[in-house]
Structure 1
Amino acid sequence: MTIPTSTRLADGRELIYFDDGATARSHTAVDTRPLDARSEANTGELRFDALTGDWVAIAAHRQTRTYLPPADQCPLCPSTGANLSEIPDSTYDVAVFENRFPSLGPAVGLIPDKPAWGTKGRAFGRCEVVAFTPEHTGSFGGLSTERARTVIDAWAHRTEALSALPGIKQVFPFENRGQDIGVTLHHPHGQIYAYSYVPPRSAVMAAAALSHFQAAGGRETLLGSIVAKESESGERMVAQGEHFSAYVPFAAHMPLEIHLTPHRHVPDFAALNNAERDELAVMYLDILRRLDNLYETPTPYIAAWHQAPLDALLRPAGRFHLELTSPRRAADKLKFLAGSEAAMGAFINDTTPEQTAAVLRATSAGPKTAADVKPAAAADQKANIS
């Protein structure tokens, strides 16, 4: 199990190092930047949308956040004399720190419980950044299995810690990869949001899960039933292990969409045992590499790690899983969420899930190199999903 080392940045934000393996290194470097002390009084605002029932974070201070800096000014690379970054140590494996420009927090607490039009309050919560590697270039799919396992331990550690904060209702680790998705830093990294409310999509999934769970008398979860049916069918299955299954869902919303679900009912990263974390590292790398090997250029994606809400009623029915999606529908085409999807939430998929699964099964899961040659069958199928 990875051992974390906690320290503080110049403005008081927490920074935690996670080292590969079971032995923590010494991380004594001090952040010497002349930063003003961070104040919880600077927390943004939450406003209630009475038309939809959604909470919206108003975070105007994020307009000044770092945007696609050159490599020699990257805030996630190890600090040097010429670049004092967010990570003062000259070397690290994985680092997690509180976001300098958070959408939520840094203050935590309870939001209004009976909102109506005009209700607003402080944007309680926590936003953290997870740097997967000290290397400025590359991607999660290019990490070693050991490093991927370290990141999983970091996600588990932060899930447990953030879940214990006052007022937190949902902890959401995710990665936006690629400029087409909207990343503002090229360095391989992800984020963790700890919400003071259950976000809209999570609330919809939680309600469906609870309804199924109650109808089954608490003996079966919705996602457990879905995994069993996908496994029995097999036509949308991409990869299977002892503890996890990866598949294109029956009603995939996006041209490229893969779900990675544990066979055992667990609510979040923190509940995974060592054997499950070991296999998750291997299988996550497997599907990321398949995604990247589809085309000659890196595939943009959103990796959304769905964890059960912390609400006592919803949590027993919620099951941890990954939803990996990409808007890429061909080598040179993206699916844009326009009228039907963006305005109405009514998705239209230009490919069939069965076709996409067949393409992904036939695509190499090895690290991408210049010598990689795609199987002919995969190339034929790939042409069909364009």
Structure 2
Amino acid sequence: MSELRFNPLLRDWTIVASNRQHRPHLPKDYCPFCPGSGKVPDHYTVWKYDNDFPALSPNPSEPDPVETSLYKAKKAYGKCEVILYSPDHYQTLPQLSVDHITELVRLWTDRFRELAEDPRHEYVMIFENRGEECGVTMPHPHGQIYAYSYLPLKIKTELDSCKLHYKETGHCLICDMNEEEKAFARRIVTENEHFLAYIPYFTDYPYGVFIVSKSHKTALTDFSSEEKRSLAAILKEVTGAMDFLYDRLFPYMMVVHQRPVNGEDVEDYYHFHIEFYPPLRARDKIKYYASSEMGAWAAANPRAVEETAPELREALKRFLAKEGRS
């Protein structure tokens, strides 16, 4: 059973997904995402798989009958998909070729386009949870896509800030952030012709990289084939640098921020970017979201990003050398 319950304090919706309590940890001798499992094709490069334990559904059940005039509920309409990165159980994103990751970006684009066609969807979020520290129960390399029937609060807040900045200055806020970061330079990790990767001035994670399009575009569907390949290349470099930072699989949450679907036109003031939330602050130390962060949304970064960005740049050099691209 899944349903949406309205939080009147935040004016946001909580997904109640009790069915996800039963999702399995991966058995040691079986993976449903590997060829031969009967769940996926015997041959694939990347693949879309409908989530077996969805928090949102195109055929949702009725909410529990506990709604009141204050406590509202509605059906958990939407879609949850798993995006398999590779048939290889052990090959994670930075180990894939740029050509392979380009296929992944194309699949993301196709899924964004198709899910946007449902008029009941308001936001399509592409994301990846990587590593046990981020709660991953299925280690086969994969990401996910959620299509929401509402605009989640963090996205709404970000959009409102971008809209206000545009109203006050006539500029795109994220375009202005790109210019600030390029001018300062010390927080930039890497860049290519079409994308810029930096740890922004304000992030609350020591290695909280943003990947931002250099051109003012709002979604994957706006990108040319060349831009999609550039995005694939910078994704490989950023995640490869993370793995080489502490010579271990680097846990992270990665979220693609794009325009909403079936809503207000945000083309003038919104801008495509990818945000990383990596929980490590050292090789074996976690940056926890504790009471102040969760209770007050008072973000706290334990390290200055002017120190961590050079560390990630140095790790990138080692990753590129291993790739024979130094």
Whether TM-score is above 0.5 comes out as: yes
CA contact (8 A) 1:130 1:192 kept: yes
Q: In the alignment, what sits opposite 1:230?
A: 181
Please tell me whether the aligned partners of residues 238 and 248 of structure 1 are also in contact (alpha carbons under 8 angstroms).
yes
TM-score (norm 2): 0.92
Number of the residue aligned with 2:11: 53
- Show the counterpart of 2:290: 338
C-alpha contact 1:169 1:194 (8 A) present in aligned 2? yes
Where does residue 153 of structure 1 map in the other structure? 106
User: Quick check: 1:99 aligned with 2:51?
Assistant: yes
CA–CA distance in structure 2, aligned partners of residues 119 and 105 of structure 1 = 19
Q: 1:62 aligns with which of 15, 20, 31?
A: 20
Structure 2 counterparts to residues 300-379 of structure 1, below 5 A: 300-310=251-261, 311-314=263-266, 316-365=268-317, 367=319
TM (norm. structure 1) is 0.78
User: In 2, Cα distance between the equivalents of 1:315 and 1:265?
Assistant: 9
2:31 to 74, 77, 94: 74
Q: Which residue of 2 aligns with 1:210?
A: 163
SS in 2 for 1:162: helix
RMSD of aligned residue pairs (Cα, Å): 2.1
Report the residue type matching 1:90 in the other structure.
D
The runs of at least 4 aligned residues of structure 1 exceeding 6 Å deviation read none
C-alpha distance in structure 1 between counterparts of 2:195 and 2:27, whole Å: 38
Deviation of residue 117 (structure 1)? 2.5
Listed one character per residue, the Cα deviations across residues 142-174 of structure 1 (whole Å, up to 9, x for unaligned) are 111111000000000000111111211111100
Higher relative contact order (CA 8 A, sep 6+): 2
Identity fraction in percent: 33
| Paired residues of 1:105 and 1:123 also in contact (CA < 8 A) | yes
What amino acid is aligned across from residue 319 of structure 1 in structure 2? Answer: H
1:139 maps to 2:92: yes
The Cα of 1:355 is off from its aligned counterpart by: 0.7
CA distance in 1, matches of 2:4, 2:122: 15
1:316 Cα offset (Å): 3.9
State whether residues 252 and 279 of structure 2, in contact with CA within 8 Å, keep that contact through their aligned partners in structure 1: yes
Are residue 172 (structure 1) and residue 125 (structure 2) matched? yes
Match of 2:63 in 1: none
Deviations 1:184-211 (A, max 9, x none): 1010000001111111110110000111
Letter in 1 for 2:130: R
Does structure 1 retain, via aligned residues, the 8 Å contact 2:78–2:121? yes
Shift of 1:105: 1.0
Letter in 2 for 1:168: H
Give per-residue Cα distances to partners, 1:218-269, cap 9 Å, x unaligned.
Answer: xx21101110111111111111211111101011111211001001111111
Q: Within 2, Cα distance between the matches of 1:249 and 1:104? A: 32
> Could you tell me which amino acid in structure 2 is paired with residue 284 of structure 1?
L
Whole-Å Cα distance in 2 between the matches of residues 351 and 182 of structure 1? 24
Question: Partner letter of residue 198 of structure 2?
Answer: Y
The answer on whether the counterparts of 1:48 and 1:116 sit within 8 Å (CA) in structure 2 is no
What's the CA shift for 1:318?
Answer: 1.7
Q: Deviation of residue 314 (structure 1)?
A: 4.0
Deviations 1:71-123 (A, max 9, x none): x32111112xxx33x21x21111110211110111238xxxxxx972111100
